Structure 1
């Protein structure tokens, strides 16, 4: 072997040594992380959130098929022994009623949660700023309102959530609270795990009624009777901010809850108390 060949083999040996020490372990680490995020053991079966409502002041029974639900920072109700309500609004678009809702909440010194999509933030920056300034939690409802259970590529899933975060921070210069409401209540074990991996809790609900059709708004009497009869300790109440009826009855609803001894809390309170147990 001549001197030149020896030198070439020496350089090759150094390269292989560096590769084995630096590159290969990193590939192993990458594959480990990727496996944790996209484990083949996670079910991709899509479920639609539901519960069996009750009118006796007790908490409803939620979906039974998804036995994995509680493993992934997912919530639909709070403490059954505490007269606390978590008021949430899904906000896909602005229909002219949100400021009225905010006025009523301010009157009662009550805090609520608004789950928004990206276009809502970009189209209504002043409302978003008001929500944040008045102590409400503006939370994540995805970029384009898809079934998150239908998205199996983690990067695509992530973009649906991160883009909303970025839009919120651009408007408020604040970090978005880490609460995510799956659009349409669609979920799978995989989607809940992906959501948790992104640092979010998944927030479902233990009360909702058909309030989102603009041309089929419920009457005041129907809406209030439905809400009052199904109120229960620890309720996560889902309403829609585009509802004219909701904007007109909210004052009465909050007054009723107060007379019944309920108080409104934020999801921060719910998660903190659940974590302690």
Structure 2
């Protein structure tokens, strides 16, 4: 989607979440969006940390560029203080998301046969857990062994985050959420040893799961679906169903591209494939 939108301001999935809950959802008579609290929107946008430095320049993956369209657009309506850290709750949600992704992808990778249990010995953190499981439960059947490995990985990471968060909070001794926002660093995260271990897990998953040829083959098919849908709707936007096809006459290319992007970004996998089949009489078989 970002490739298709490159000439029109780009696309960022996290920023699109903000656009969904503040603009695209239309449930109330007097305004668009879901009427979420400022704290919820703040956490949604910057749960991984500040997006702007003290000088107002974008940070992290946006450094040297500009913030995504959806964030810039919403910033005209409300200040989410993009140069500060979010609340502790948002930070906790962010690290929980990382832990869940690691565990889920590890579980999926083993159950799908993309990685073997013995492959985990390549990663010290996972090798240690595997050794514990094998020592305590010799001869354990594969499905139960996978579950034990995954749940112990989650437990280790969660316990580490709790201990490290308590340590950091003890150093700062915040008296309010404002103290958390202005602490200058994350309050809820991994200890240095666990952060290194988690990076090892991510590197392993990237090489053995995310870049597995079977996974890449599906990604290529899905990318073609998105490209084809975007090109077709840009050339003939009337093909979009209502309400997406309403009021097209007053849109310039930039606005039309954003309308098409919003429509495609909101599709489920199955709906996107069905739309591709409707428009091209063909759809990929994703297994």
What TM-score does the superposition give when structure 2 sets the normalisation length?
Answer: 0.23
Bigger Rg over Cα: 1
Question: Larger RCO: Structure 1 or Structure 2 (Cα < 8 Å, ≥ 6 residues apart)?
Answer: 1
The structure with more helix, counted as a fraction of residues: 2
What TM-score does the superposition give when structure 1 sets the normalisation length?
Answer: 0.23
